[in-house]
Structure 1
Amino acid sequence: MSQQCEVEQVLGQHLSRLQICLQRASGASSGPEEGSDAWLFLQALVGEDEAGLQSRFERSGRWLAEQGGRLDARLEAMQVYIDALSEELQAIFTDQPQWLAAALARLYRLQSACSLALTHGYQEAVSRIADEQRRALERNSRRLLALQRINGINNSSMDLDQTLEVTARIVAEELQVSLCAIFFYDELQRLLTLRATNGPRPLGGMHFTLRLGEGYSGWVADKGHPLLVRDVMGDPNFAAEATTYDTEYHGLMALPIIFFGSVERLIGVISVQSEEPRDFTPDEINFLEVVAGIIAINVENGRLYEQTDEQLRRKVHELATIHRVTTVIARTLNLDEVLQMITTQAVHLSGAERSCIFELDAETQTLHILAHYGFGGSQIQQARVKVGECCAGRAVQTGRPIMLVDCFQQDEKCFLRADPFISSEIHSVLCVPLEVKRKVLGCICIYSSHRHLLSPEQMQLVVTFANEAAIAIENARLYEETRRGLELKSMLLRELHHRVKNNLATVAGILSLQRRRTRSPEVGNTLAESVNRVQGLAATHDLLAHEDLSEARVDDIARKIVGVASANLSPPDAHITFKVEPCPIVIPSRAVTILALVLNEMVSNAIKHGMADLTEGTVLVRGREEEGMVVVEVIDTGRGPKKPLEEEESGEGLGLSLIRNLLADLRGRFSLRRVTELEPPANTPGLKPICGGYTVAEVRFPLTRTHALAS
């Protein structure tokens, strides 16, 4: 007997002992369980076929990978069994070292072979699973792109038939089938009609129809469930539809196209067929279900669009008309034009034939027509309706809309009874009061030849036009009242400026008379300055008396002041040239008066001090806008101040003190500077300095919102 056989015989005698050893190693209460790693090792160790053991471990490795198990944990568990068996073998063969070596060698050889088989099976399964996942990912990506294409096509501007044809072609390409057909269901006729295929057509072409329950498409439409048939030709109930095509098809997958809204609605059926028998996978079923959902949503959206398109177009037209009327009201104060437009558009948009707008005379409590449409002749213009009479009068009295049918024959107070021809053609009327700030101004009436009441939408449209008409009438009234009030105030203000000018002229005359009678030169000079100031104010008020809204241009003020100052203060033996540059800045009356006084002092100082002892010179006045400020400069070519500017400011005379106090009221400031360069001021050609330079007196004050530039 060989040594190996002897070892196997001894191990067979200690089988129970080895089982208990493995049981302790696994921590189980019994075992080892048949088919487990411990059981397989034990069977191989005591004489089982080693090749069969490796095959079983390889299958176990594949199963481990498929279940998502961990290979390292499995190998660690196997090592625990090997270690336990190794210790037990050492105990069994304590006195037989040769047999112990043979047993351990056999044990470790089995461990190596089984570990390799387990690892090989695991890696093989992992690779196969990875390949399957990669192919599934590629397939899912491809189908996602196909669904995106189908969704994009269904959301495009193509017509429905073209969209369905493209959808059928994409489905056939993706599922690799020969035929994709799409049927639509007609609820009235209870028929399925072929709307699209990817190419092949049945007998009868695109006019091919099926009843509910007929063929596989009719069965799916009737039952509302998917239908999967491996070989449709083997079922006589379904083969009839399949044989309507030139090519014989076997594999079938058909799904209902259902819109799941508040109420489920059958749209049609989509089916795919292959030329060979075929079992379609769940992924393929899911793909076709998504396509059916996309088609259902697209068809339902199209149906809703067709239902609402006309209504939307009408609403857009109504809104555009209302916007146009509102724009006309905001753009013009021509009441006749606005009301005529309202009456015309109210008829066109409400579907009526005639309309008119009444205005209420609050004193006589009667209504008269301001505008009308659809009524001929001048008789309608003479119509008068008392408040409380006729539909129009009752609408004004109650302040609520009135809508009636065939009221003209019974209402003796109706103003239309005077014209039997018109009253015979009119059968319904809607009168809506024109109300602004809880005050009724009149009403708008819409007349129709139809014997039915207007819809709520039409009535709301007329109410909107009524509001627009009320606003137009109120705006016209407010504008007229404002215009009359403004004319009256402007007339009174011009009269006030005229009287102030006359009074100031009287004061100037009295001061001039006093000046001629005085014998003191100092008193005479003082009186002359006062006369100049008073006449400057008088000239300013004369300017305001001839301007609208009590505003004046800066250059007009400057010309008035320069004219007065040159007449009163210019030395008779000197030739002084006065220039006023154009300045279109417009300032209000309050600023006009202050600027006139300030300019008067600045021009007077330029004449008295700058031109003193000179036989000729130039005084220039100019204004501009600079960073939100009004800047006015008086430039003279004279000698300038006798004292330095610092001393002049510390001991300033009445003129400079008056300037600074007046400018404080305008939040302005004053500056006086001497320019010694021989160059003339910028943008002032022809101004030649005489005494080596020129003097610039400047005032600045804010250009407020009421200060506007003249056009």
Structure 2
Amino acid sequence: MSTATPIRELADRLAVDLVQAYEQARVATGNGGTKHQAQLASGQPLRDAFGAFGEEAAGAGVSLEDAMAASVEALQHLFERFGGHTADPATMLAAGIALAATARAYDIDGRPPTPTRDQELPTQLSRLAALHRVNRAVTAHLELSEMLETSVRVVSETVGSDACAVFLYDSATESLALRAAVGLNPASVGAVTIRPGVGITGRAAVERRPIAAPDAHVHEAFLDSPGMGDNVYASQVSVPMLLRGANKLVGVLNILTVGRRTFDDDEIAFLQTVAGELAISIENARLYSRTDARLRRKVAELGTLQRVSRTVASSLDLDQVLRLLAEQAVELINADAAAIFRLPHPPGGKPSGEVNPTIEHFVGDEREVVGPNRDRLVRQVVRTGASQAVDIDYVDGSGMVFCLPLRSARETLGALCLRLRPNTELTEDELGLLQAFSDSASLAIENAQLYQDARHGLETASALLQEMHHRVRNNLQTVAALLSLQLRSAEDAPWSVQLREAISRIQAIAGVHDLLSDEQRLAGTTVDVIAKHVVDDAHSTLVPPGLHVEFEVVPGDVVVPSRQATVLALLINELITNAVSHGFEGRQCGKVEIRAWHHDGLVSVEVSNDGEAVPDGFVPAESSGLGMKIVHRLVTSDLRGQFTIGSPGGQGTIATITFPLAEPEPESTLDALSMVGAG
């Protein structure tokens, strides 16, 4: 049988049914607007018309391909006449609904088509299971956005709707914002807002009760929102989400279906229960978000404060510390500018209330102040120790300045002033952060000031010590010069040898003080440098004419403090004197070697010569010579060490002084401070 005639008749009848649907919409709305006609036809009437067409075409033996082709042609004529565009999501969704209705009318097994029916809400025990499923879904996430996305999907599946949306109420803006949806235009989420009282959704929010609209497009409160894509749905239920105790509005839950659907009282009650559970979960997620954000902000603030404290503690240079403090203060609360003020005052005294504060360091754009308000503010903050915020007049306008004291345990060091950006209000947390920063800044300033004072004191002590060594050296050299004059006038006198030894001792001590008058050697010097100075003087004072002595000082890095250096110079001088006087007696040449080394926390200094050997069993302490007595006394009493002398192998003499190294002199603290400051 030919299908050309039946399909054409059925297609013409479909076109008539569609026009009647639009005419009924015009009568129902009373305004003749095509917008409402399109909304109605794209919903249940559109689905019914194409479903009936599909059943008749299937019954007449028309193939599914021919029926779909006729449906597409009817849709094209429909959209050309009443409006519609293929780029419009609503138009394409309406076309899909129509073609799906036609296809469902065909039974692929050849059986008579079964009538379609809306999925009913679960009842009794199954409804409890559905509620449990919703609860499990909404409590699976603490992040609000994730929880909402999961909620609309699960609720839509549970209640058998074609679309589901959640609007959240914002009390600050007094508006409802679309925050999650399925079955609607995804681009509208986060972009669509509704005022309470406007539309079915807004009315449900204001009246605090569910509103069910089986024919949503003809409802008196219906609001057309083309961007959302909800105009293809015939029925809508809007249920306010309320917190039971306070009747607080959290938002609105919307359920939408393509086919016309009537919700009974039990179904509405079930949706209210779902909305109540959603309200609790949403509020918990909001509290979690606020708490989590607050904790993250606190962690960030503590991290910033730790970084600031570490930065300002990295230097002991006062100028650098002040610069770092001003820079970090600006960064801490995003201020416009920062300045650190100090009040001049005598050491140990308190700042004078009449003296104008001075800016030690400034960061930011400079603005010229008009009037004395700023200086008065700084003086008052320093005097009272309390933070204050005032408006300051500038040449180019006014600005808010927040000033807080910089206090140590002993005194108020100054004040930190921050020029805030326009419309800035410091929160309680920011005030606490600034106070903690102020405490760290005060500690850094006090440490830098103490370091500066200590360094200045040590530099003064160093200069005085240098001058003392210089004067002692000059006085000793004067004494040695006078004794040398006396010696020249009595070279053959019986006491000339003793006088020459005395001159040598004095010059040895003078040589050490000459070394210590050098700033680099205040804390001490090396043994080889001491020995070289003693040897240089020995050439001119100890070695008699006709005797050639070769001196060798082995280089080393053994450093002794200044007190031990003086004693060591005398000891080396005495041992050289002993070698020249006794070891090289009757000879024309000789050699003296001096070296020093560390071992087991002790210092050993060895003076050896190739002269006559000392007698076996020689005991320095029992010697009748003045030189050996001086050596023994200085080693045991001053150095608290040991002295040995002998002639291994019966040739030459080796004298060894062993002593513990004394603690560094206080002067060395200056070098330590210099190293700390440089670091």
Tell me the SS of whatever aligns to 1:331: coil
Question: Is the Cα–Cα contact under 8 Å of residues 344 and 355 in structure 1 kept in the other structure?
Answer: yes
Partner of 2:355: 365
Partner of 1:485: 457
Q: What residue identity is the alignment partner of 1:184?
A: V
1:546 maps to which of 518, 529, 533:
518
Paired residues in the alignment total 411
Question: Is the Cα–Cα contact under 8 Å of residues 432 and 445 in structure 1 kept in the other structure?
Answer: yes
- Partners of 1:618 and 1:301 in 2: CA distance: 96
Partner of 1:394: 380
Distance 1:304 1:534, change over 3 A: farther
The CA RMSD measured in Å over matched residues stands at: 4.2
Distance 1:328 1:602, change over 3 A: farther
* Deviation readout 1:394-447 (Å, 9 max, x if unpaired): 2112111124xxx42xxxxxxx423233x1xx34x4211111234222211223
C-alpha displacement of 1:451: 4.8
Distance 1:329 1:607, change over 3 A: farther
Partner of 1:454: 426
Partner of 1:417: 393
C-alpha displacement of 1:530: 0.6
* Deviation readout 1:86-119 (Å, 9 max, x if unpaired): xxxxxxxxxxxxxxxxxxxxxxxxxxxxxxxxxx
Q: How does 1:255-404 map to 2 (within 5 A)?
A: 306-362=289-345, 365-376=355-366, 379=368, 390-403=376-389
C-alpha displacement of 1:705: 4.5
C-alpha displacement of 1:532: 0.5
- Partners of 2:162 and 2:339 in 1: CA distance: 56
- Partners of 1:517 and 1:435 in 2: CA distance: 72
- Bigger radius of gyration: 1
Q: What residue identity is the alignment partner of 2:472?
A: V
C-alpha displacement of 1:621: 1.5
Question: Is the Cα–Cα contact under 8 Å of residues 666 and 701 in structure 1 kept in the other structure?
Answer: no
Q: What residue identity is the alignment partner of 1:695?
A: I
- Partners of 2:162 and 2:507 in 1: CA distance: 102
Partner of 1:593: 566
Bigger relative CO (Cα 8 Å, ≥ 6 apart):
2
- Partners of 1:648 and 1:335 in 2: CA distance: 57
Partner of 2:576: 603
Question: Is the Cα–Cα contact under 8 Å of residues 202 and 208 in structure 1 kept in the other structure?
Answer: no
2:597 maps to which of 624, 629, 639:
624
* Deviation readout 1:67-104 (Å, 9 max, x if unpaired): xxxxxxxxxxxxxxxxxxxxxxxxxxxxxxxxxxxxxx
Q: What residue identity is the alignment partner of 1:619?
A: V
Question: Is the Cα–Cα contact under 8 Å of residues 575 and 616 in structure 1 kept in the other structure?
Answer: yes
Tell me the SS of whatever aligns to 2:137: strand
- Partners of 1:301 and 1:512 in 2: CA distance: 101
Partner of 1:85: none
- Partners of 1:442 and 1:376 in 2: CA distance: 20
Partner of 2:556: 583
Structure 1: gaps (5+ residues): 1-178, 211-298, 409-415, 678-690
Distance 1:501 1:676, change over 3 A: same
C-alpha displacement of 1:527: 0.8
Q: What residue identity is the alignment partner of 2:631?
A: I
* Deviation readout 1:354-409 (Å, 9 max, x if unpaired): 322111123652112222233236x47xx99589x643232112111124xxx42x
Q: What residue identity is the alignment partner of 1:603?
A: I
Question: Is the Cα–Cα contact under 8 Å of residues 560 and 661 in structure 2 kept in the other structure?
Answer: no
Partner of 2:509: 537
Partner of 1:701: 660
Distance 1:664 1:303, change over 3 A: farther
Question: Is the Cα–Cα contact under 8 Å of residues 357 and 442 in structure 1 kept in the other structure?
Answer: yes
- 1:469 equivalent to 2:441? Answer yes
C-alpha displacement of 1:540: 1.3
Tell me the SS of whatever aligns to 2:569: helix
- 1:442 equivalent to 2:418? Answer no
C-alpha displacement of 1:657: 1.9
- 1:183 equivalent to 2:183? Answer no
- Partners of 1:481 and 1:470 in 2: CA distance: 16
- Partners of 2:165 and 2:373 in 1: CA distance: 69
Distance 1:365 1:483, change over 3 A: same
Q: How does 1:28-47 map to 2 (within 5 A)?
A: none
Distance 1:447 1:617, change over 3 A: same
- 1:497 equivalent to 2:456? Answer no
Partner of 1:672: 644
Question: Is the Cα–Cα contact under 8 Å of residues 659 and 670 in structure 1 kept in the other structure?
Answer: no
Question: Is the Cα–Cα contact under 8 Å of residues 564 and 662 in structure 2 kept in the other structure?
Answer: no
Partner of 2:348: none
Tell me the SS of whatever aligns to 2:393: helix
Q: How does 1:49-448 map to 2 (within 5 A)?
A: 182-184=136-138, 306-362=289-345, 365-376=355-366, 379=368, 390-403=376-389, 407-408=390-391, 416-421=392-397, 423=398, 426-427=399-400, 429-448=401-420
- Partners of 2:161 and 2:622 in 1: CA distance: 111
Question: Is the Cα–Cα contact under 8 Å of residues 596 and 606 in structure 2 kept in the other structure?
Answer: yes
Tell me the SS of whatever aligns to 1:183: helix
- Partners of 2:643 and 2:556 in 1: CA distance: 20
Question: Is the Cα–Cα contact under 8 Å of residues 620 and 634 in structure 1 kept in the other structure?
Answer: yes
Structure 2: gaps (5+ residues): 1-132, 167-281, 346-351
- Partners of 1:332 and 1:300 in 2: CA distance: 49
Tell me the SS of whatever aligns to 2:404: strand
- Partners of 2:498 and 2:159 in 1: CA distance: 121
Distance 1:350 1:665, change over 3 A: farther
C-alpha displacement of 1:301: 12
- 1:558 equivalent to 2:541? Answer no
- 1:615 equivalent to 2:591? Answer no
C-alpha displacement of 1:335: 3.3
C-alpha displacement of 1:614: 3.2
- Partners of 1:593 and 1:196 in 2: CA distance: 92
- Partners of 1:385 and 1:541 in 2: CA distance: 58
Question: Is the Cα–Cα contact under 8 Å of residues 635 and 694 in structure 1 kept in the other structure?
Answer: yes
Identity %: 33
- Partners of 1:629 and 1:593 in 2: CA distance: 18
Tell me the SS of whatever aligns to 1:366: coil
Distance 1:500 1:351, change over 3 A: closer
Distance 1:335 1:608, change over 3 A: same
1:655 maps to which of 627, 636, 650:
627
- Partners of 1:336 and 1:595 in 2: CA distance: 44
- Partners of 2:589 and 2:477 in 1: CA distance: 30
Tell me the SS of whatever aligns to 2:335: coil
* Deviation readout 1:654-695 (Å, 9 max, x if unpaired): 222212322344442232243536xxxxxxxxxxxxx74552
C-alpha displacement of 1:466: 2.4
Q: What residue identity is the alignment partner of 2:364?
A: G
